[in-house]
Amino acid sequence: MPKSLFDSNYKAVIFDLDGTLIDSLESFAAAQIKALVENGIDRHSAAELTNDVRMPFDRRLRALKPELEEEKIRKILADYVRVYNTETFKLATPMEGAKHLLNTLEQNSVKAGVVTSRSLLEAAIVPTLERVGLLSYISSIITPSDVAKPKPEPYGHLLSLKRLSVSASSAAGVGDSPEDIIASKKAGILAVAFTSGFYSRSELKSFNPDAYARSLSEILPIVAGGCTADKQATGR
């Protein structure tokens, strides 16, 4: 690795939030279970409904509980948002190495941005980042309400580039989902697949990321090392 990140062409890294910078699995599941139980669904059934948090909660409810009336679903979702925003967001934790990575980027004048698909829980983004000690490192936060279409469309990444005042060729995108990889590639930035989040490397491989990282500590060599995308993609 170069002694300074100034040796690298990368001037910004755009991160996904959940499953990449923060571990939010427990916080999501706890809020969902409590909201379901409050609305008369037994805890066992509620727990089964939280098995796969990769699908948005509203879509999962409609798919797995088609017997629920729309008014009931709206009530459950409202309670979910309330519980998360007031209670269970506190269960989220920074991913291992997140603070060190962001601090190192900042110390070397590499900006960090966030592009997230959160919509229902958008209000808790800043409080969550602040609680886990990462907010001060983030120069830009883009949510679905900021753009015409969320990931996998590139609008969030393109807006992030604009707010960070960097070109696509000077930025890398890091995320743990197919949508992150697709959006990064559409935006023309280096697409790094983080394989310790909600999706595994085998699940992300078919989306042809430019590089892989099993831990956040592996992001720094990708950004600072000057390795080509094809060389990184054939790595671990």
Last residue in a domain, options 75, 90, 105: 90
Number of alpha carbons in the 13 Å side-chain half-sphere of residue 118: 23
Q: Is the pLDDT of residue 111 over 70?
A: yes
Question: For position 135, which CATH number holds?
Answer: 3.40.50.1000
Q: What is the mean pLDDT of the chain?
A: 91
The closest of 147, 198, 156 to 175, measured between CA atoms, is 198
Last residue in a domain, options 50, 66, 90: 90
Last residue in a domain, options 90, 108, 134: 90
Q: Which domain holds residue 65?
A: 26-90
The closest of 171, 172, 118 to 141, measured between CA atoms, is 118
Q: Is the pLDDT of residue 44 over 90?
A: no
Q: At what angle do helices 178-187 and 155-164 cross, to 10 degrees?
A: 60
Same domain, 214 and 142: yes
Q: Is 171 strand, coil or helix?
A: strand
Q: Is the pLDDT of residue 92 over 60?
A: yes
The pTM for the full model equals 0.90
Same domain, 62 and 174: no
Same domain, 104 and 35: no
pLDDT digits (tens, 9 = 90+) for 114-146: 999 999 999 999 999 999 999 999 999 999 999
Q: How far apart are CA 138 and CA 111, in angstroms?
A: 8
pLDDT digits (tens, 9 = 90+) for 13-33: 999 999 999 999 999 999 999
Q: What tokens were used for 29?
A: 């599941």
Same domain, 212 and 107: yes
Number of alpha carbons in the 13 Å side-chain half-sphere of residue 232: 25
Same domain, 78 and 101: no
10 Å CB burial of residue 180 (0-12, 13-18, 19+) is: buried
Q: How far apart are CA 231 and CA 45, in angstroms?
A: 46
Asked, as a colleague might, if the bond just before 56 is cis with ω within 30 of 0, I would say: no
Same domain, 47 and 82: yes
Same domain, 75 and 102: no
pLDDT cut 70: percent of the chain above it:
92
What is the tally of structural domains in the chain? 2
